[in-house]
Amino acid sequence: MSFKLRWKLKVLFLFTLFKLINCDSLSLAQAKPPQDPKTNNIEAPNTNSSKLKLPARGSPVGRRRGGTSRNNCLPLDSPLTALVPGSETSTGLVQSKSYLASTISENPTFWVYIPKLPDQMQTGEFILQTEAGQDIKRTQIKLPSTESVIAITLPPNSEHSLTIGKKYHWYFKIYCGKSILQSDYFFIDAWIERIEASPELKYRLQTTNLANHLIHQDLYVWYDAITILGQKLLVEPNDDKLQTDWVQMLKSIDLLDISNSSIIKVYQL
């Protein structure tokens, strides 16, 4: 074999090897999950549901539990409760706080625990306002008389859609009499912020085997996490795994005491 031919074969071999290395590097780069821009480290999924706990995000705060006694109202066995992150402290009087939590949904669902109610206390009211206090939606709801969990979903139209980057204030009231114009009431209130779905959320939903509700919870997208799980339980109420996840989810925000209440209904406004 001549020197010229050997030289050409060597060049061809090196060129082929270079292309193979480049293709492998590109495939590895495309398969990498999103990275934290601050640390440049890949964030590994948290698959231990017992450690999932949403942080307090500070102000604005609301009132997570609504009390059990009020002037001109019959007493309740347990308080009206918003199923959101929060805390209760007792220094003589119980102080209840709800914390700001997030959603990626335009028309999210709000979850409320309803205690067993006296016969005359069957009217509830859901109110959603802008951060400035302007009404977006205000509607009355006929409540179940049995202890239960209900959900309220915003209408699927632009008039009631949440905007990315904005915070909203919601209330739920239980009126003590049949006429809401002349009635006192128990109430809760909380804050919600619509955020954009992060690259990590999109990646983990596509590539991990962890249940969707646990992924949302792990990334602090609370309203979507509880809605995904709650809707699954409405379809399969006797599923042991879903029931366990529901108890663990409420335990993670210190609402274990109401975790055994049945989900009765989703109100589509």
Q: Find the mean pLDDT for residues 14-41.
A: 44
Quote the CA–CA distance of 256 and 258 in Å, as a whole number: 5
Both tokens assigned to 239:
């599923």
Question: Residue 137: is its pLDDT beyond 70?
Answer: yes
pLDDT for the residue 124:
94
pLDDT-based confidence at residue 251 (cuts at 50, 70, 90): very high
pTM value is 0.80
pLDDT for the residue 8:
54
Most confidently predicted of 44-48, 206-210, 219-223: 219-223
pLDDT for the residue 264:
87
pLDDT tens digits for range 68-120: 888 888 899 999 999 999 998 876 556 899 999 999 999 999 999 999 999 88
Query: Residue ranges of the domains in the chain?
Result: 49-268
pLDDT-based confidence at residue 145 (cuts at 50, 70, 90): confident
Contact 146, 102 (CB under 8 A): no
Distance of CA 248 to the CA centre of its chain: 14
67: left (phi over 0), alpha (psi -120 to 50) or beta: left
Of 267, 97, 255, the closest CA to residue 188 belongs to 97
Residue with the bigger pLDDT between 202 and 59: it is: 202
Maximal C-alpha separation, the chain:
107
Cis check: omega of the bond before 85, within 30 degrees of 0: no
> Hey, what CATH topology would domain 49-268 get?
Immunoglobulin-like (2.60.40)
Contact 248, 49 (CB under 8 A): yes
- Ranking 46-50, 54-58, 126-130 by mean pLDDT, the lowest is 46-50
pLDDT for the residue 258:
96
